[in-house]
Structure 1
């Protein structure tokens, strides 16, 4: 039985991850009536590296999220890169567009912080609400809301299905993209797909000020074994623990045959002893997740439905970063919706809503296209090893690589490196 709900809103946001909570916050701050639906209850975990680049930090600053140390954040000053027998520390660049530091915070508390911030701005948050599909107008086919049902913490249904209605719906429902697939929007197999696995360890180096990246992963002792595809990370969280994981990427969405948990175990056998990554210090199992990249699903807006975050494949092919782009998408979507709902005609509303896709593609389309080409080059371990051996000793090259891979460059102006990257992104075809 379907029961009509009385919780109609100006906008419904499905999923209270970074993209959804950012969208809910910005919409509520603009004075809109917002309904934010989340299938789990907070705090809840998500598979992630837990590290935030300066680009993501800038979005948190725009939202007014408290990012002090006493609020559970740890700042990092840049990236420490290890590979090819080299060890290099690369500070985040000094830019006018982004701060010169990154942050880290476990997703169990990070997502809860953002959802609470959206609620404090006026968004109505409904947890344990599993959205089952889009609600469509019978004549036009336009999305006019969603159907949902209450569930318990294990995802079991606890009540009757409910209908929530709104003029526009934001699908921020993650890699499953249930709303998008319900509208027939299938992912593109010619876009990169990443896989990441991670766990947590107690470690005496929990307050290390650098994000650490290992560009070489071996299936035995270095020099006497095979080089494995992928890269590893160690992100200190400042609370006695570190997020430790590894990722790999393919230039297409084809299934990978890599045993990532075995690969992770092999890496841990060779991990630096000073981190103390032992079985006794491991907190929880090694868990994995897919990383949809490079706008692998679209359109970003159509028929009353906007896609934001992982549901639209907004993960960077360069580094697996998704939070910064999810936060950005939430902000841009909220602006388009606010402008659209202020228009006096349906046609005017749709024109304003459509600016969301154009703005996101204008800003990220060329950059993601460069990322697809980058993946085709480095997905072969031999090439990655060659680049690591000969590129790491050259500071200018590594400064270019840091800005390119982290998407931390001045889009206009800046130094020569900034202008080169910005120029390449502008001339690359739209993703």
Structure 2
């Protein structure tokens, strides 16, 4: 039985970083916002938990107190590869802070959702969205059906934001399929009690060794600051090993070769190995169609260079909210649609060229010989590695930057945004 529960200006489906950021900015602008989350906080999400300066900038913009207990700062990126260890501080830029953060997603997502509620959004937890409600006359989404407290309910709004992650049931129901020409990754991670929990560098391993055998993929060790570290690895579908790899076994084999004092063993694990897919490079499009906008993982907004998604999730949420606010202020349906169609265009202007270069990059490093060559010949050169850090983390000043900034900005401008 359907209970017509509530109407709003905008419905946001999913209270991860993308959805909560969208809801926060919409509510701040005075709109009536429903934020629907299928789980109940606190809830876990598979992630490395590392936040580069690009993500930190978004947290600061939302007024998050990053000096409160529970946040651990980092100075930069430590890279292992080719028998070399390199520490690269985050660049000093006008556009971004010069530090990163780590915060477990069990905390981070709840903090962001609470921030949206403080701004005026209504958060409904334990609300599992089932399907879009389509106005057949307009061929347009006008709400969603959901299961809540065992009952089927309806929520209606003239605009719906799909922030429901990689699986994005809502997008699939609206006929949007993944683009097979975009990279996809898989990541697994586990928490370990370790003396390395308060490391002030994010750590990236470009080579994963199982004794004398080189494993496919890349790894990370991020100190969470609460007595544990997040240890994980990722593999891209450009690798020949993508389809036939036991990722959990691979993580165990890799960590077995770590120094015993780091405690990355079964005895010190705080939970199971968990994994998730990483949709990259705008792998689901269009980002606006028939009354629905895609933000974050639902729109494949993970950086192909480094697997980072939280910053792009929050940026897309902020942009989507700005566009929606402007659109809903227009007096006619045609004018509202013109405003809404700016969303995918601006997204591609902002990130399309950069993601295109990223797709080429992951095609190259899918070949282990190329990856080995780049690792062994690139890591010993500090200037090259500082350039690489800026490129991989997408950290440049748009104006008045240094030579590296100008080269990277020029590359992303000339690359086609598809």
- Please give the secondary structure, in 1, of the residue aligned with 2:399: coil
Equivalent in the alignment of 1:322: 309
Taking a change above 3 Å as real, the CA distance of residues 37 and 253 of structure 1, as seen in their structure-2 partners, is: farther
Take 1:252 and 1:193, find their aligned partners in 2: how far apart are those partners? 10
TM-score where L is the length of structure 2: 0.98
Q: Retained in 2: the 8 A contact 1:131–1:147?
A: yes
Q: Retained in 2: the 8 A contact 1:191–1:251?
A: no
1:136 deviation in Å? Answer: 0.7
What pairs with 1:30-429 in structure 2 (closer than 5 Å)?
30-68=29-67, 70-150=68-148, 158-219=149-210, 221=211, 225-251=212-238, 256-429=243-416
- Please give the secondary structure, in 1, of the residue aligned with 2:130: strand
1:387 deviation in Å? Answer: 1.0
Taking a change above 3 Å as real, the CA distance of residues 129 and 144 of structure 1, as seen in their structure-2 partners, is: same
Q: Retained in 2: the 8 A contact 1:38–1:128?
A: yes
1:412 deviation in Å? Answer: 3.0
RMSD, matched Cα: 1.3
Take 1:287 and 1:189, find their aligned partners in 2: how far apart are those partners? 25
- Please give the secondary structure, in 1, of the residue aligned with 2:115: helix
1:255 deviation in Å? Answer: 6.1
Take 2:387 and 2:267, find their aligned partners in 1: how far apart are those partners? 39
Aligned residues: 418
Taking a change above 3 Å as real, the CA distance of residues 255 and 385 of structure 1, as seen in their structure-2 partners, is: closer
Take 1:289 and 1:244, find their aligned partners in 2: how far apart are those partners? 14
- Please give the secondary structure, in 1, of the residue aligned with 2:3: strand
Take 1:392 and 1:317, find their aligned partners in 2: how far apart are those partners? 20
Take 1:255 and 1:421, find their aligned partners in 2: how far apart are those partners? 30
Pair 1:19 & 2:18 matched: yes
Taking a change above 3 Å as real, the CA distance of residues 415 and 274 of structure 1, as seen in their structure-2 partners, is: farther
- Please give the secondary structure, in 1, of the residue aligned with 2:255: helix
1:159 deviation in Å? Answer: 2.3
Equivalent in the alignment of 1:153: none
Take 2:245 and 2:351, find their aligned partners in 1: how far apart are those partners? 29
Take 1:281 and 1:218, find their aligned partners in 2: how far apart are those partners? 21
Could you tell me which runs of 5 or more consecutive residues in structure 2 were left unpaired when the two chains were aligned: none
Take 2:398 and 2:299, find their aligned partners in 1: how far apart are those partners? 23
1:342 deviation in Å? Answer: 0.6
User: After TM superposition, where is structure 1 displaced by more than 4 Å over at least 4 residues in a row?
Assistant: 252-255
Q: Retained in 2: the 8 A contact 1:251–1:372?
A: no
Taking a change above 3 Å as real, the CA distance of residues 124 and 277 of structure 1, as seen in their structure-2 partners, is: same
Taking a change above 3 Å as real, the CA distance of residues 254 and 383 of structure 1, as seen in their structure-2 partners, is: closer
- Please give the secondary structure, in 2, of the residue aligned with 1:424: helix
- Please give the secondary structure, in 2, of the residue aligned with 1:390: helix
Take 1:120 and 1:280, find their aligned partners in 2: how far apart are those partners? 41
Take 1:239 and 1:198, find their aligned partners in 2: how far apart are those partners? 17
- Please give the secondary structure, in 2, of the residue aligned with 1:344: coil
Take 2:281 and 2:351, find their aligned partners in 1: how far apart are those partners? 9
Take 1:164 and 1:183, find their aligned partners in 2: how far apart are those partners? 17
TM-score where L is the length of structure 1: 0.95
Taking a change above 3 Å as real, the CA distance of residues 368 and 254 of structure 1, as seen in their structure-2 partners, is: farther
Q: Retained in 2: the 8 A contact 1:193–1:252?
A: no
Take 1:135 and 1:142, find their aligned partners in 2: how far apart are those partners? 8
